[in-house]
């Protein structure tokens, strides 16, 4: 098996607020995707390079599926997660667990986004 995760989706209630949050914290631009559900979803993807390690995904606002309270946890790769962690609160989120050592696997921050979803930031330093 290759990398087990091929795609992720983060469900949101307010797309404009969620886009602003992730674009501010991660310093990325999201790109709107065509709606595969014929009018039931608004999707904005993170940039992807399928020649490099990792998976891409999208913010999704979908009829019948609210944000927060689900059990999937996404970690975003960072050079140093302290940098992105510093942007979370000003972007409308909160820090659940500040940068913490995870031994030989590096460091991680656990944060809550503007929609109530927990996500992680991971770095080797």
| Secondary structure (H, E, C), the chain | CCCCCCCEEEECCCHHHHHHHHHHHHCCCCEEECCCCCCCEEEEECCCCCCCCCCCEEEEEECCECCCCCCCCCEEECCCHHHHHHHHCCCCCEEEEEEEECHHHCEEEEEECCCCCEEEEEECC
pLDDT at 80: 97
Architecture of domain 8-123: Roll (3.10)
What percent of the chain is predicted at pLDDT more than 70?
Answer: 97
What's the rounded mean pLDDT across residues 34-53? 85
In the numeric block, the tokens 């998976």 are attached to 55
What percent of the chain is predicted at pLDDT more than 90?
Answer: 70
pTM exceeds 0.95: no
Separation CA 3–CA 71 (nearest Å): 20
Asked if the model's pLDDT at residue 92 lies above 80, the reply is: yes
- Please report how many Cα atoms fall inside a 13 Å half-sphere around the Cα of residue 109, on the Cβ side: 26
What's the rounded mean pLDDT across residues 97-105? 94
pLDDT at 27: 97
Instruction: Dump pLDDT digits (tens) for 44-86.
Output: 999 888 788 888 899 999 888 888 877 678 999 999 999 999 9
Domain segments of the chain: what residues? 8-123
pLDDT at 1: 55
Separation CA 81–CA 98 (nearest Å): 9
Give residues with Cβ within 8 angstroms of 52, minimum separation 6. Answer: none
């Amino acid at each position: 098996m290759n990398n087990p995760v091929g795609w992720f989706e983060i469900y949101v209630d307010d797309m404009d607020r969620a886009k602003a949050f992730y674009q501010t914290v991660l310093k990325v631009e999201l790109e709107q995707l065509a709606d595969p559900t014929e009018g039931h979803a608004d999707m904005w993807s993170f940039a992807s390079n399928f020649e490099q390690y990792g998976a891409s995904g999208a913010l999704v606002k979908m009829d019948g599926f609210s944000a927060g309270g689900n059990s999937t946890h996404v970690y975003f790769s960072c050079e140093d997660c302290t940098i992105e962690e510093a942007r979370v609160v000003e972007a409308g989120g909160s820090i659940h667990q500040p940068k913490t050592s995870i031994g030989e696997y590096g460091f991680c921050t656990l944060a809550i986004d503007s929609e109530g979803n927990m996500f992680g930031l991971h770095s080797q330093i």
